[in-house]
Amino acid sequence: MRLYEYEAKNLFRRYNIPVLDSILVDNSSFNELDKVAYPVVVKAQVFLGGRGKAGFVQFAQNRKEAEKKVANMLGKKHGSFTIEKVLVERRIEIDRELYVSAAIDRLKHEPLMIASQKGGVEIEVVARKDPSAILKYYFKIGAKLPDFQARNIASDLGFTGAAMSVCADIVLRVFTLFVHLECKLVEINPLVVAHDGRIIALDAKVDLDEDAMFRHHELKEMGIVARHEIGELTKRERVAKAKGIPYVDLDGDIGVFPGGAGFGIAAIDLIQHYGGKPANFMDSGGAPTQEKLRAMLGLLIDNPRVKAIFGARFGGISRCDDWAKAVVQYVIENKPKKPMIMRMAGNMEEAGRKILEQAKQEHQELFKNIKIYAYDTPIEEVIKETIRIAKTQRDAGN
């Protein structure tokens, strides 16, 4: 889970990694601009990269100019993000730009620290064209980074004497932050040597492991909680999020009601392959409750774009009978009119089938648009039928 620059810098302050004093400005706090010394840098707070090229990092000589640039930035879109906050920092003179990070090498499955004397926006180009300028220091998870290793990194970054010691301390603190908070990434790019000799983290990137956040109450105290982080949420995505359902709106007309973690992606592939257009991605997670299943269904039924719903339940840890019960209860309570074409197979399939059959007999009218196939019908057939029905619906103007 990526943090905003200003959140990452708050963490840096907590771990005594030197950053510039800064103020955070949104639409309601322009008077904060009185509290900073000019000239300044105005930086949009967004997760997406490339904000510099997009014009969302700007200089301002004085308060008036800053106010104008902040006002200009707030509310703009960077990719799918709306800029809601900007960070304003004193502009400083810089002698050198370096790169330092702690990260996880997913090829070796080992954590490491990375350092380069060629920091700055072009670090990816350096990595590609001059890999020897990127130094890697692997360490064992659970082990402390020895002080001497931090000094080696500082020395490799070109520091000597007292500055070497200062930089080694920063390296150690980056490591400590990474390990303490179980991060996926702590990155300083650039780490700069200011003209006055100070060594400062000019930017700050922290990527947390959501699955480890339960151990780190200090994050909650700092206002950092698990959240959807990429782009602005649609209304439906917000509703889904509030209910704990991973959900992304797509632009098709077939609602995807998956059963079983991971199948959502394959279902989308299949629908597209057979010429259909999925209306969403959704994941039920490992063992969804009845309530969650009904909420998932509700998201699709309530979406006016959805013409037909494709459902698939491979009963594993999530049992078919539970799934069938949820579907039945939802249908009886909400009396949806949209066609639902589903397939149910796996754990407790028989019990699930009985529940559905009984409900169908008792509520024939309600279930007339609902077809539920079994183990012996290939899923492609179910998908093809869904696509066909969606087309019929579309053609009928439903």
Residues 127-166 touching a second copy, rule: CB under 8 A, are: 142-144
Give the residue with the Cβ less far from another protein, 273 or 337. 273
Binding-site size for a second copy (CB under 8 A) equals 3
Select the binding partner of residue 219 from another protein, a second copy, none (C-beta < 5 to 8 A, by kind): none
* Residue type at 354 in one-letter notation: K
**Does 247 participate in catalysis according to the annotation?**
no
Active-site choice (4, 99, 137, 373) = 99
Query: CA–CA separation, 216 vs 226, rounded Å?
Result: 12
For residue 164, report the phi and psi dihedrals to the nearest 5 degrees. -60, -45
Would you mind telling me the total number of residues written for the chain in this entry? 398
What Cα–Cα distance (Å) separates residue 27 from each residue in 31, 35, 75, 252, 325? 10, 16, 9, 36, 48
Chosen from a second copy, another protein, none, partner binding at 160 (C-beta under 5 to 8 Å by type): another protein
Q: Which is nearer to a second copy, 107 or 143 (CB)?
A: 143
Which lies closer to another protein via its Cβ, residue 37 or residue 143?
143
How many CA atoms lie less than 13 Å away from 143 in the CB half-sphere? 10
Do 192 and 98 form a contact (C-beta atoms < 8 A)? yes
Tell me the closest approach of the beta carbon of residue 80 to another protein, in angstroms: 8
From a second copy, another protein, none, interface partner of 393 (C-beta below 5 to 8 A by class): none
Q: Choose the contact partner of 39 out of a second copy, another protein, none; CB within 5 to 8 A by kind.
A: none
Question: Token digits for 151?
Answer: 């000094």
User: Token pair 């100019």 is at which residue?
Assistant: 65
Closer residue to a second copy, CB minimum distance, 216 or 371: 216
Query: In angstroms, rounded to a whole number, what is the distance separating the alpha carbons of residues 99 and 79?
Result: 26
Whether residue 232 lies in the annotated active site: no
Q: How far is the CB of 325 from another protein (least distance, A)?
A: 16
Residue 106 CA to residue 223 CA, distance in Å, equals 29
User: Considering CB distances under 5 to 8 angstroms, the limit depending on partner class, which of a second copy, another protein, none binds residue 144?
Assistant: a second copy
Of another protein, a second copy, none, which one sits near residue 259, judging by CB under 5 to 8 A according to partner kind? another protein
Nearest to 124 by CA among 99, 157, 154: 99
Q: What's the closest the beta carbon of residue 145 comes to a second copy, in angstroms?
A: 13
The phi, psi pair for 91, rounded to 5°, reads -85, 130
The least CB distance from residue 314 to another protein, in Å, is: 4
304 neighbors 272 (Cβ within 8 angstroms): no
Neighbours of 68 (CB within 10 A): 13
Q: List the catalytic residue out of 187, 237, 349, 385.
A: 187
How far is 279 from 307, CA to CA, in rounded Å?
A: 9
Query: Closest approach of Cβ 204 to another protein, in Å?
Result: 19
Helix (H) or strand (E) holding 255: strand 254-259
Shortest Cβ 22–another protein spacing (Å): 28
Binding region for a second copy (CB under 8 A): 142-144
Q: Which residues are catalytic?
A: 99, 187
